[in-house]
Structure 1
Amino acid sequence: MSGLTESFVVAAFLAFCRIGGCFMIMPGLSSARVPTQVRLFVAIAATGALLMHLWDQILPFASREPAILVPMVISELLTGGLIGLVARLYMLALQFIGSGITMLIGLGGGAAPGIESGEPQSALGDIISLSALLLLFVFDFHHDIVRALVRSYEIAPVNVFFDPRRALVDVTDTLGESFLIALRLGSPFVAYAILVNLSIGFVNKLTPQIPVYFISLPMVIAGGLILFYFAVATMLRLFADGFLPTVLGV
């Protein structure tokens, strides 16, 4: 094997480490519902498509020396994993507020394994998270992830080791902004739960001999579902609009 061929193989492997590390964690492709072979072939296909554009940024640093290659592989895996992690954190924020909404309107019980992930989740929260994920794919958010991977070679070159301090700042900023967006999405249901439960508490004090809470539970659920019917479109739109500024910073 010639030196040029070996350098090409090393460069392709380094690109695969960053792209595959991102695809391994990013929402959608990292789901347990997606077979491992599909994820592997998607990562290989994306590596082959992007390697020609990233050739000048990877090939000069493609070294076969183990003392140089091993730290570079670790750095590439961590860099790609960070890009996928910030997208995953944004999606987890929606799953969190989805679970909160179900509890606020009285549908907290009856959790079952989720569609996108195997973790137990309520039916309404699963509908919210799955609809938002499908909406992101419709709006080509996976293309934005690929663009972020290409731009990452300018911010974090191959010859520069992974910076944990900058990564921690990115994760912290993503968590803060995702929490604010999730709180804004769930604020109507928080206000609804406060008003309804406060009213039921007053009625229960006026008529202590009647179990008002258990009698009013179907009406609370019905009101919450009606509110969800009118609010879900705006929720998903705001969630999709906040993806690029929160996750990719554009």
Structure 2
Amino acid sequence: MSAFTDTVVIAAFLAFCRIGACFMLMPGLSSARVPMQVRLFVAIAATGALLAHLWDQLMPFASRDPALLGPMIVSELLTGSLIGLLARLYMLALAFIGSAIAMLVGYGGMAGPGIENGEPQAPLGEIISFSALMLLFVFDFHHQIVEALVRSYEFAPVNVFFNPRGALVNVGDTIGDSFLIALRLGSPFVAYAILVNLTVGFVNKLTPQIPVYFISLPMVIAGGLILFYFAIATMLSLFADGFAAATLGG
């Protein structure tokens, strides 16, 4: 092969390292239920589509020198993994609050197989996670991920090695923002659980001879499901609005 062909192949491989690492961790596409071949071909297709836009950022640094190429490959893998990890952390925060909601309304005792991943989760929490993931794809959040990958070359160019300190700051900020958003989403259910359990406790003290737990549990679950019915639309809307700000910096 000619020198120009070698340079193009190296530039394409560097772009594939960042894009493929991001797709390997981003929600939805990284699911175990998506075949590995599909993920590979999607990463290759995205690399081919974005290579024309990234030509100026990649071609000047596509070196065949192993001493330069090795660190660049490692840096590209870490940068792409960071972008995918930020989106994954946001989804994990929602999965956490979904499991907490199921527990707070008394519906978390029976865990089932996960849809997006293989970990067992309460059915109510799985409904929340899967609905939010589907909503993000409907709102083209994967386009935002691709846009973030393109913009990442302005802040993390190929010739600059991965900055672990800045990455930890981004991860910490994402975890903090995701926690606050998840707390907002689950706050009605936290208040509901406190009030209901406090009421059940008072009733149990007043009538200790009655098995209040077995009598109150169906009513607690029914009230929680009614609250979930009226709150789910607002929850998903707030979750989708906060995605870009929490994971991609707006």
Question: What TM-score, normalized by structure 1, do the two folds share?
Answer: 0.99
**What is the aligned partner in structure 1 of residue 141 from structure 2?**
141
Amino acid in the other structure paired with 1:22: C
Aligned position for 2:105:
105
Q: In structure 2, what is the Cα distance between the partners aligned to 1:178 and 1:113? A: 24
Residue 215 of structure 1, CA deviation: 1.0
Residue 246 of structure 1 corresponds to 246
- 1:155 shift after superposition: 0.3
One-letter amino acid of the structure 2 residue matched with residue 168 of structure 1 = L
State the SS of the aligned residue for 1:121: coil
Give 1:17's aligned amino acid.
C
Q: CA RMSD for the aligned pairs? A: 0.4
In structure 2, the residue matched to 1:158 is: 158
Checking the alignment, whether the CA contact within 8 Å between 2:26 and 2:84 is kept in structure 1 is: yes
Map 1:44-55 onto structure 2 (within 5 A).
44-55=44-55
- Kept in 1: contact 2:72–2:159 (CA 8 A): yes
| Segment drifting more, 108-117 vs 85-94 | 108-117
Look up the match of 2:77.
77
Q: Do residues 116 (structure 1) and 116 (structure 2) align?
A: yes
The Cα shift of 1:58 comes to 0.3
What's the % identity of the aligned pairs? 80
Q: 2:201 matched to 1:197?
A: no
- 1:173-188 matches, within 5 Å, as 173-188=173-188
Give the match for residue 23 of structure 2.
23
Q: 2:93, 2:182 within 8 Å by CA — same for their partners in 1? A: yes
Match of 2:34 in 1: 34
Give deviations 1:184-219, integer Å, cap 9, x for gaps.
000000000000000000000001111111210000
Within 1, Cα distance between the matches of 2:154 and 2:16?
17
- State the shift of 1:110 in Å: 1.1
Aligned residue for 1:2? Answer: 2
1-structure distance, mates of 2:222, 2:112: 21
User: Is the 2:106–2:220 Cα contact (8 Å) retained in structure 1?
Assistant: yes
State the alpha-carbon separation in 2 of the partners of residues 199 and 232 from structure 1: 25
Whole-angstrom CA distance in 2 between matches of 1:226 and 1:194: 16
SS in 2 for 1:113: coil
Quick check: 1:126 aligned with 2:126? yes
- CA drift at 1:143: 0.2
Contact 2:27 2:91 in 1 (8 A): yes
Q: 1:113-149: per-residue Cα shift (whole Å, max 9, x none)?
A: 1001101101111000000000000000000000000
Structure 2 CA distance for aligned equivalents of residues 170 and 108 of structure 1 = 32
Partner Cα separation in structure 1 for residue 32 and residue 184 of structure 2: 29
Q: Distance in 1 between matches of 2:40 and 2:11?
A: 18
Is the 8 Å Cα contact of residues 178 and 246 (structure 2) preserved in structure 1?
yes
Preserved CA contact (<8 Å) 2:108 2:124: no
Counterpart code for 2:173 = D
| Greater mean alpha carbon deviation, residues 174-183 or residues 209-218 | 209-218
Q: How far apart, in 2, do the equivalents of 1:98 and 1:127 lie?
A: 8
- Cα distance between partner residues in 2 of 1:184 and 1:226: 18
Alignment partners' CA distance in 2, 1:226 and 1:33: 32
Letter in 2 for 1:247: T
Matched, 1:91 2:79: no
Alpha-carbon separation, structure 2, partners of 1:17 and 1:119: 28
- May I ask how many residue pairs the two structures share in their alignment? 250
